[in-house]
A and B are shown apart, each in its own frame.
Chain A
Amino acid sequence: MDGVVSYRKRRGVEAFMLGFSILLAMAGYLLTHLNRDASLPPLWPVALIALGGIGVGLHLVIRWRIPYADPLILPLVMLLNGLGLAMIHRLDLDDSRAPHSAELQLTWLFVAAAACIAVIIFLRDYRVLQRYPYLLFLAGMTLLMLPMVPGLGLEKNGAQIWIHLGNYSFQPAELAKLVLTIAFASYLVEKREVLALAGGRVLGLDLPRPRDLGPILVMWLVSLAVLVFQKDLGTSLLFFGLFVVMLYVATEKPSWPILGTAMFGAGAFGAYLMFGHVQTRVSAWLDPFSDYDRNYQVIQAQFGIAWGGIFGTGWGLGRPNITPLAKTDFIAAALGEEIGITGLIAIVMIYAVIVARGLRAALGAKDPFGKLLAAGLAFVFAIQVFAIIGGVTRLLPLTGLTTPFMSQGGSSLVTNWIMIGLLLVITHQVRRPAAVVAAMPMASLEGDTTELIDVSPLMATPRPAAPPELLNPEGSPDDKTGQLPTIDADQLNGPIPATRPISTSDETAEIARPDQDEATTWDATDSEARP
């Protein structure tokens, strides 16, 4: 044996990168004030202590509970959060109507970090989440549909995706994306073999059997309902895309994403023909200047990014406030204006690295649930960033998704941090060396040959058939490391047949004959009984 490959903890690297990310966020904040008033803001040590406190708190909890977690995820997320906060603060300076959204967002960041810490402390074994796929599915669907309930739903900025509880408004779809990712992962762990079965072959594609199309049809209808009734293209794209991607990861069948894309394309085209608000979005995407007033927001975002150019105007020196909703949906445009396309590409890179680290954890995960959950969480971030930054830069029609960690909004921030907590827990389990050892084959027994006992004399006397679960106690029949068949006690006591092949050494002869403290049944017809 060459030894076992494992990963270093690298908590020192994490601490260093965390410090670097907080430095960058503070630089954005301080540069804004330096560029505008040539002096530092009086409260900057408070901001540094707040950000540093969150960073140190999370870092210490990770050191304590999940020391093998991925060292990059936390610094990257902190950097995005910090830059988002700096930009929201910068937008506050020119916003007389809501001049304290950065402080509010910082409060939410405390809540979100506390939620992440709670996940890390109380959920070290993420597999408990696997237990209730259908309940979670139902809960996720309910959350998704909640804004359609009359009296509870709230229409804001043309999309009915809010509910209001007392004085607070809340986006249930944000929580739904977490709940549904877990539900999809646990559902697909159970069903992936069935869904991977090929039905007919059409145009060189293995299509699934028609009766296995049920789940994808349900998701398609729900996505269409969200698109039509809540007027929210982004949420509908996010959930359907997530489901299709996870189906693909689970089954490894390219027919699922092709089918999914075709279904979503058909549904979206149908919605385009039938509903005015979808047509508005598409025209704002393909030809924004046809109606300057209606597409004002998209046009201003384009002007902002163009004005920023390659290196940007500098923190605090642009005019990102002209774009409506610059703090939420269009924060990418505001950043593109002030730190330029160089900075915007850096931000997209950081998102890409977070997604890559999630997929890396999925590749390394030993259990299928961890694999699917990590891949699903990574894709939730990927789809959101692709849809919103693609929408802001007019690569895609604009969708009302949040920019994870950056845009203003409490429900999104808390959910995203909980997802990061889950991802960290999974990476800890993946990178921990003990998990590698446990997954190794039993080295000492692997080379041993199993002694064969001739059972033909025993087969003459009829025996009651063993219950099926005893024939194949764990795993598939060809599972080498699974339990070896055990021998009934009365067989051992009886005469050993003379034709018994003698094995090469005493050790193997002994090892293949299990001790019998409890009577377990080994049926003579074992091999025939297997499917």
Chain B
Amino acid sequence: MSDLVVLGLKLGFLALLWLFIAFVANVIRTDLFGRKVPAAELAQASFEAASAPGKPQRISRKVGKQLPTVLKVTHGPQAGKVLPLAGGVLIGRAADCQLILDDDYVSTHHARIALSSDGYQVDDLGSTNGTFINNERLSATTPFGLGDTLRIGRTMMSVEK
């Protein structure tokens, strides 16, 4: 091969090598600060919506036709846990609950999520510290739909499809 081609290939290789490093630098730059997590991923939106009263109800009615399928723990010691709703979930400290919360603020049988004709509903089973939907304490059976936040003790939950 001619010297010129050899020189071109040599410089081309080095240029590619440094282009690789430039790409690496760009990945590091775009990776520097992370990003805000979208609502769907962490159920963050439902938590924020809960602080603005009135809003979550409207959201849940818009999508209310389809039933949620899973209960997701969004905050608290078991954050990230997902379990199927499957007709109903019993929440409390006792071993026979489907979701066991090891928390001093939770009663043995604290609350029940049950399916009714209007979708899922939450019943407080006479707990000491109460069950909260969107920061309002339950006094009667309350619907629990998409976009609502359920709080029991230190744990917050939401339902997802």
**B-binding residues in A (CB < 8 A):** 1-8, 10, 13, 17, 20-21, 23-24, 27-28, 31, 34-35, 38, 71-72, 75-76, 79, 311-312, 314-315, 317, 339-340, 342-343, 346, 349-350, 353, 356, 431, 433-434, 437-438, 440, 442-445, 483-484, 486, 507, 510-511, 513-515, 517, 520
Contact = CB atoms under 8 A, between A and B. Distances in A.
Contacts of B76: 442
A462 B65 CA distance: 61
Question: What 9 pairs between A and B have smallest CB-CB spacing?
Answer: A514-B104, A434-B80, A314-B10, A5-B34, A3-B36, A515-B128, A437-B79, A7-B34, A346-B17
B28 A72 contact: yes
A515 B127 contact: yes
A34 B18 CA distance: 22
A18 to B, nearest CB: 11
B17 A510 contact: no
17 contacts: A2-B36, A6-B37, A20-B23, A23-B16, A24-B13, A24-B20, A31-B10, A72-B27, A314-B9, A342-B14, A343-B13, A433-B37, A437-B42, A438-B80, A507-B137, A513-B129, A517-B93
Interface stretch (B83-91, B105-113, B116-124, B140-148): B105-113
B21 A349 contact: yes
Given A10-B31, A514-B105, A445 B1 contact: no
Contact of B128 (A4, A315, A510): A510
Contact of A5 (B9, B18, B35): B35
B129 A515 contact: yes
A437 B73 CA distance: 10
Interface of B: 1, 6-7, 9-11, 13-14, 16-18, 20-21, 23-24, 27-28, 31, 33-37, 41-42, 44, 47-48, 74-77, 79-80, 93, 104-108, 127-130, 135, 137, 151, 154, 156
A225 B79 CA distance: 50
Given A433-B41, A438-B80, A444-B75, A353 B35 contact: no
B107 A515 contact: yes
B10 A311 contact: yes
Residue of B17, B21, B130 contacting most chain A CB atoms (<10 Å): B17
A8 B129 contact: no
Nearest to B94: A517
B10 to A, nearest CB: 4
B73 to A, nearest CB: 9
Residue of B16, B107, B128, B151 contacting most chain A CB atoms (<10 Å): B128
A346 B22 CA distance: 10
A519 to B, nearest CB: 12
B89 to A, nearest CB: 19
Chain B interface secondary structure, helix, strand, loop or mixed?
A: mixed
B11 A311 contact: yes
A349 B23 CA distance: 13
A341 to B, nearest CB: 10
B36 A434 contact: no
A7 B14 contact: no
Residue of B41, B75, B104 contacting most chain A CB atoms (<10 Å): B104
Nearest to B7: A314
Contacts of B28: 72, 353, 356
Contacts of B27: 10, 13, 17, 71-72
Contacts of A79: 20
B13 A28 contact: yes
A492 to B, nearest CB: 10
A76 B21 CA distance: 9
Contacts of A486: 104
A124 B75 CA distance: 22
A339 B33 CA distance: 35
Nearest to A483: B104
A436 B11 CA distance: 45
A210 B49 CA distance: 57
Contact of A339 (B1, B14, B44): B14
Given A440-B75, A445-B154, A4 B130 contact: no
A150 B103 CA distance: 60
A437 B74 contact: yes
B151 A444 contact: yes
Contacts of A314: 6-7, 9-10
B37 A34 contact: no
B14 to A, nearest CB: 5
Nearest to A8: B35
Contacts of B23: 17, 20
A315 B34 CA distance: 40
A35 B9 CA distance: 9
Residue of B16, B24, B41, B77 contacting most chain A CB atoms (<10 Å): B24
Contacts of B16: 23-24, 27
B115 to A, nearest CB: 26
A343 B154 contact: no
Contacts of A443: 47, 75
Contacts of A444: 75, 135, 151, 154, 156
Residue of B6, B7, B11 contacting most chain A CB atoms (<10 Å): B6
Contacts of B7: 314
Given A339-B17, A515-B127, 13 more contacts: A6-B41, A8-B31, A20-B20, A27-B16, A34-B1, A72-B28, A314-B6, A317-B6, A440-B75, A510-B130, A511-B129, A515-B129, A520-B104
B55 to A, nearest CB: 15
A437 B80 contact: yes
A99 to B, nearest CB: 24
Given A5-B35, A443-B75, A483-B104, A24 B17 contact: yes
